[in-house]
Structure 1
Amino acid sequence: MSDFYIILTGSLVAIACGILGCFLILRKMAMVGDAISHAILPGIVMAFLWSGSRDSLTMLLGAGTLGVLTTIIIEFLHKKGKLQTDASIGVTFTWLFALGVILISAYTGQVDLDQECVLYGEIAYVPLDTIILSSGTDIGPKALYLIGSVLFFVILFVTIGFKQLKITSFDPEYAVALGISATLWNYLLMAFVSFTTVASFESVGAILVVAFLIAPAATAYLISKKLKTMILLTCLIGFLSAFLGYYLAVALNASIAGAMATVCGLIFALVFTYVRIISKKVTKVTNFESAKA
């Protein structure tokens, strides 16, 4: 059953991150997930200093709060400071990460507390961390319930706000003209991105989360013309990456998260090659034959 749990967890993370990743790609904010992974360090430290505990839920709340704050600062610098989005992301996550390093060195020097030990998980350990009821019944890995709940709320959010998210992603000015607050929906999206990535970090690790947030959506973007199609393709690509990545890791006796992320990249490379090279050659040949006729 362990392989089933690992593949299922990877698939749920891929789908949850991928759905949100579609909107990040359209908004040219694909690296927000990576920024959040660095910027949450002060939240982890402050949560520990406040609670005196390294409990996962406490760390998650602290990290999630800083993740939301990160997105607010990025948006503020972009809108009010007139910085480009990538510059806003770069400035925000570097100084927040540095602040976290200072807090660790100043206040938690005698405690084993850092990003790696508290928040960054390993998907291979998912089957080992299970929920056992008072009756002694093992109901499965804790990560499945956490990520499953996150995915449910992500789907609910996108379903309810699909129209608003679509319009604000493609044309924010038109959205404002229709009376839709582009800023509000951007903050809501970033809040979901923040908590989804933070929750996923604990279960599968940072590298895999960032890969699932970007690569499947970027791949689907190359071959789809409609947003709904892009989202469905992203979910399919994410599932294939988790499934094939696991068996690649088994065959090579390598890191499961690394193999899944590698498959994401390989699928993107194949699709990119087809779209940018092969399909263009086919189009040229077809046009030449039409001209001859």
Structure 2
Amino acid sequence: MEWLETYSLDLWILATASLVAASCALVGVFLILRRQALMGDAISHSVLLGIVLAYLISGTNSLWVMLLGAVIIGLVTAWLSETLHKVSRLQSDASIGIVFTLFFSIGVILVSLYTGQVDLDQECVLYGEIAFVPFDTIIWGDMETGTELGPRAFWLILFVFTIVVSSIILGFERFKTVTFHPSLAISLGISVTFWHYFLMTLVSMTTVASFDAVGAILVVALLIIPAATAYLLAKSLKGMLWVALAYSQASVWLGYAIAAWLNSSISASIAVSAGLLMITTLMILQIQKWQQKRYYAHRLNSGQTNS
């Protein structure tokens, strides 16, 4: 039965990684369209400060307390970045870079100072280790005789994924209007500010739910790369969401296969796979563009010859 147990562990890892990738890809689409890809990077790093502060203030490492702390710091990051951009001559990306590096550095300092109390370390923050996800489980009932429900990280990201999907479905038209036509949204009475910070809340929740399992580096990769690849291919917002989902899942499965083959980090392999898929897509698009130019040039030459 050892092979069955190993197979079960692999399934939990793949299921968790798939949900992380799907959640990141969906919110990443709106970040890419709003030209705020760096904001995803900022929030994915600055939430460390929220996690540590939530623990130090509450004295508990409850997932819901840390989730609340991360969401608050994520919103503060977005607000402070915009405020710094508006009141100074700094470019938007410079403002974001200043805020998130400051918050992330403070978070790392607090982790190093209270490393004996906070169940985090710098390597966990940056890289994560999704291979350990199946061993941190939720038990229903007594610790010894209770029913094991599966990995804690899986249920947390499933909860967040459900919120993300529900929010996008219910608020699709408003997200679409605010993203593509903010002036029209204002004239229709739609609060651009509310939907902006609602998106930042979804990004923060997705980030902290993915944080412990896969680390900040993979979160950033999954927030940006599948959505950016979908941007190259899709003709509509719905199409972009579906293409981003497909690329995110392909990255997970290909990355897991590469990690098993090379016996390497799963998170890093998934990030590399996402990059390879994007590069492959770019190459195919360039080849198609070159073939089209060649075809039209051939038709033009043929027409000139016939005339």
SS at match of 1:93: helix
User: Are positions 1:67 and 2:74 aligned together?
Assistant: yes
1:34-77, Cα deviation, whole Å (9 max, x unpaired): 21233233323322321234444433332232112111222333
Aligned to 1:238: 248
Aligned to 1:198: 208
- Structure 1 residues 233, 97: CA separation in 2 closer, same or farther (over 3 Å shift)? same
Opposite residue 35 of structure 2, the aligned amino acid is: K
How many angstroms does 1:113 deviate by?
A: 6.2
How many angstroms does 1:82 deviate by?
A: 6.1
- Structure 1 residues 249, 102: CA separation in 2 closer, same or farther (over 3 Å shift)? closer
Task: Give the Cα separation in 1 of the matches to 2:56 and 2:299.
Answer: 72
Aligned to 1:169: 179
Q: 1:180 aligns with which of 182, 190, 195?
A: 190
Whether the 8 Å CA contact 1:59–1:118 is kept in 2: the answer is: no
Aligned to 2:167: 157
1:121-174, Cα deviation, whole Å (9 max, x unpaired): 421111111222225222221222111111110011111111111121123222
Whether the 8 Å CA contact 1:30–1:214 is kept in 2: the answer is: yes
Whether the 8 Å CA contact 1:18–1:235 is kept in 2: the answer is: yes
Instruction: Provide the alpha-carbon RMSD of the alignment.
Output: 2.2
Aligned to 1:269: 279
Opposite residue 171 of structure 1, the aligned amino acid is: H
Opposite residue 297 of structure 2, the aligned amino acid is: F
1:199-220, Cα deviation, whole Å (9 max, x unpaired): 1112222111111111000011
How many angstroms does 1:221 deviate by?
A: 0.5
SS at match of 1:205: helix
Opposite residue 256 of structure 2, the aligned amino acid is: Y
Whether the 8 Å CA contact 1:59–1:119 is kept in 2: the answer is: no
- Structure 1 residues 177, 78: CA separation in 2 closer, same or farther (over 3 Å shift)? farther
Task: Give the Cα separation in 1 of the matches to 2:243 and 2:78.
Answer: 27
Aligned to 1:116: 122
Whether the 8 Å CA contact 2:129–2:215 is kept in 1: the answer is: yes
Aligned to 1:281: 290
- Structure 1 residues 84, 115: CA separation in 2 closer, same or farther (over 3 Å shift)? farther
Aligned to 2:152: 142
Task: Give the Cα separation in 1 of the matches to 2:180 and 2:37.
Answer: 15
How many angstroms does 1:99 deviate by?
A: 3.5
What pairs with 1:62-141 in structure 2 (closer than 5 Å)? 62-79=69-86, 81=88, 83-101=90-108, 103=110, 108=114, 111=117, 116=122, 121-134=128-141, 135-141=145-151
How many angstroms does 1:245 deviate by?
A: 0.8
Which 10-residue stretch deviates more, 49-58 or 6-15?
A: 49-58
Query: Could you say which structure has the larger radius of gyration?
Result: 2
TM normalised by structure 2 equals 0.87
1:169-228, Cα deviation, whole Å (9 max, x unpaired): 123222222222211111110111011111111222211111111100001111111110
Which 10-residue stretch deviates more, 32-41 or 147-156?
A: 32-41
Aligned to 1:220: 230
Task: Give the Cα separation in 1 of the matches to 2:186 and 2:111.
Answer: 43
Whether the 8 Å CA contact 2:130–2:213 is kept in 1: the answer is: yes
Gaps of 5+ in 1: none
Gaps of 5+ in 2: 1-7
Task: Give the Cα separation in 1 of the matches to 2:264 and 2:108.
Answer: 31
Report percent identity of matched pairs.
Answer: 46
Whether the 8 Å CA contact 1:245–1:260 is kept in 2: the answer is: yes
How many angstroms does 1:281 deviate by?
A: 0.9
Opposite residue 156 of structure 1, the aligned amino acid is: S
Opposite residue 138 of structure 1, the aligned amino acid is: E
How many angstroms does 1:78 deviate by?
A: 3.7
TM normalised by structure 1 equals 0.91
Task: Give the Cα separation in 2 of the matches to 1:75 and 1:8.
Answer: 36
How many angstroms does 1:237 deviate by?
A: 0.6
SS at match of 2:37: coil
